[in-house]
């Protein structure tokens, strides 16, 4: 039986290190979490949310899936957003994509990958609705642009959810950001897509009524 012993060894070292830095660390965290941020990112092993932004356990609530997709029929993602907004009361939701995303590359390629192609359909739809569809095929540059467009689309998708719309209607302070991470240098870029108000959305997606 493989027990992955080295991971348990790592874990013991890490827990000990954290205790040395702050003896009350785990006791405090065990009592409650109050992260001010929700991170929605790619499942890619090279884009670990906490490490990239230098946050400790307890400081960011995280949802990751292939290519940081926010689909309004995905109850996993919607549940994370609902809990983060309504229970944890996060103030900022960050959708973070990354250049060199395998999910985005997979969506651009015509090679069948299996079940995941159904998930990557979301990204194909972003492509098809964009100007890229009219341009010449341009390999890496096209993929990078689609990574950015995908972040923009998913930022909007977060804002279109009943959860975020309800929060804004209640007057809750909530901003949704679109960032992109570069695997090459480990740096984040703000895509300046911040949405904090339903007025920033197309009319059809705004739900202002009191109902
Ligand atoms: Co990715």
* 208 domain-assigned: no
Closest CA to 64 of 51, 56, 134, 174: 51
Q: Give mean pLDDT, residues 185-207.
A: 95
Residue 64 known to be catalytic: no
CA separation for the pair 95, 159 (Å, rounded) = 11
**87 is in which domain, residue-wise?**
34-200
Residue 46 known to be catalytic: yes
Indicate which CATH number applies to the domain containing 166: 3.40.1050.10
pTM value is 0.95
pLDDT at 211 over 60: no
**In which residue are the tokens 């009943």 written?**
162
Q: Which residues surround ligand 1, an ion (CB under 5 A)?
A: 42, 44, 101, 103
Residue 159 known to be catalytic: no
User: How many separate domains does the chain show?
Assistant: 1
Alpha helices in the chain (DSSP H): 5-21, 25-31, 49-52, 75-82, 102-108, 116-128, 139-160, 162-169
The string of pLDDT tens digits covering residues 10-19 is 999 999 999 9
């Amino acid at each position: 039986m493989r027990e992955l012993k080295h991971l348990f060894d790592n874990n013991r070292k890490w827990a000990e290190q954290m205790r040395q830095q702050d003896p009350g660390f785990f006791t405090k965290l065990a009592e409650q979490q109050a992260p001010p941020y929700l991170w929605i990112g790619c499942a890619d092993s090279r884009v670990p949310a906490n490490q990239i932004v230098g946050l400790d356990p307890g400081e960011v609530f995280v949802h990751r899936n292939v290519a940081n997709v926010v689909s309004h029929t995905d109850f996993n993602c919607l549940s994370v957003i609902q809990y983060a907004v309504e229970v944890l009361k996060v103030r900022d939701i960050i959708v973070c994509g990354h250049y060199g995303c395998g999910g985005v590359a997979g969506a651009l390629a015509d090679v069948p990958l299996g079940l995941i192609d159904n998930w990557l359909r979301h990204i194909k739809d972003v492509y098809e609705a964009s100007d890229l569809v009219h341009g010449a095929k341009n390999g890496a540059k096209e993929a990078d642009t689609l990574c950015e467009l995908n972040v923009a689309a998913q930022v909007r998708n977060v804002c279109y959810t009943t959860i975020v719309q309800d929060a804004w209607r209640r007057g809750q302070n909530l901003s949704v950001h679109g960032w992109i991470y570069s695997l090459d240098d480990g740096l984040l870029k703000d895509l300046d897509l911040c949405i904090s108000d339903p007025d920033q959305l197309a009319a059809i997606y705004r739900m202002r009524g009191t109902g």
